[in-house]
């Protein structure tokens, strides 16, 4: 038994096989198989559109080439019932079934993969979201989380604000306090002291705050600082 290559082709968005290949691998004359289809053309049309193309059209080539019928799976199965049931034909039937089955599986797997352009679009949207996240200050993200809950950008990224430090002015807004009022309350709690008009952490304050060095020395505080627990 000769090895039969893959003879299934996608024609009109459907797996099909040409009557030329069927004739070749069943030891039949091409014209005999073509005449068989022509005589029973209405039978084949009952199982869908019967594609008629030349090999050049299928393979992207040019030139005058003989026309070929391209049969879908039911049409090919019907044709096989019309052929003389020799050993060669039976072996070819089995191979044809395997090839159509393989093609169906491949198409099914492809259909389960998201459309590439859609996937690319979603990735671009996600990148814009990441850029927005990187450019937005932590306090604004915290406010959005309080407003939007699980739908907020910080919730989507799984941000834990308990490990983030905020300026007194920022956290004071959560309690309706000004920056000055917040600093005075922190001082009253013994968490900070003023040295030469610069706030410094006390030993107690080190449990909740950090000192940020830069152009201006300033203190930042955790959400769990007693003053800010809601």
pLDDT in tens, 111-146: 666 666 676 677 778 778 778 777 888 888 888 888
Q: Are residues 106 and 166 in the same domain?
A: no
Q: Coil, helix or strand for 39?
A: helix
- Give the pLDDT confidence score for residue 230 in this predicted structure: 40
The number of distinct structural domains making up the chain is 2
Q: Per residue in 4-32, pLDDT tens?
A: 899 999 998 899 999 999 999 999 999 99
Is residue 137 in some structural domain? Answer: no
Residue 110's H or E segment, with its range, is helix 87-111
Q: Output the pTM of the full model.
A: 0.47
Residue 61 CB neighbour total at 10 angstroms: 10
Is residue 121 in some structural domain? Answer: no
* Structural domain for 176, as ranges: 160-230
Q: Which whole number is the average pLDDT over 62-88? A: 85
- The set of residues, in sequence order, having a beta carbon less than 8 Å from that of 183 and lying 6+ positions away, is 168, 192, 199
For residues 219 and 212, the answer to whether their CB atoms sit within 8 Å is: yes
Q: Per residue in 41-56, pLDDT tens?
A: 999 999 999 999 875 5
DSSP letters for 158-187: T--GGG-EE-HHHHHHTTT--HHHHHHHHH
- Give the pLDDT confidence score for residue 214 in this predicted structure: 64
């Amino acid at each position: 038994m000769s090895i039969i290559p893959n003879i299934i082709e996608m024609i009109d968005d459907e797996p099909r096989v040409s009557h030329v290949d069927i004739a070749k691998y069943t030891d039949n004359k091409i014209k005999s198989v073509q005449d068989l289809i022509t005589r029973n053309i209405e039978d084949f049309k009952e199982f869908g559109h019967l594609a008629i193309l030349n090999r050049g059209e299928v393979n992207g080539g040019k030139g005058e080439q003989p026309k070929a019928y391209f049969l879908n799976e039911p049409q090919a199965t019907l044709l096989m019932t019309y052929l003389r049931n020799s050993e060669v034909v039976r072996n070819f039937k089995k191979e044809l079934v395997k090839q159509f089955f393989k093609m169906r599986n491949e198409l099914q797997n492809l259909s389960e993969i998201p459309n590439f352009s859609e996937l690319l679009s979603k990735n671009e949207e996600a990148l814009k979201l990441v850029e927005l996240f990187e450019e937005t200050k932590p306090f604004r993200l915290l406010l959005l989380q309080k407003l939007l809950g699980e739908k907020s950008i910080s919730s989507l990224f799984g941000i834990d604000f308990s490990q983030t430090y905020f300026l007194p002015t920022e956290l004071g807004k959560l309690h309706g306090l000004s920056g000055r009022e917040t600093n005075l309350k922190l001082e009253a709690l013994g968490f900070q002291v003023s040295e030469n008009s610069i706030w410094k952490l006390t030993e107690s304050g080190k449990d909740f705050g950090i000192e940020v060095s830069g152009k201006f020395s300033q203190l930042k505080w955790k959400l769990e600082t007693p003053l800010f627990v809601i």
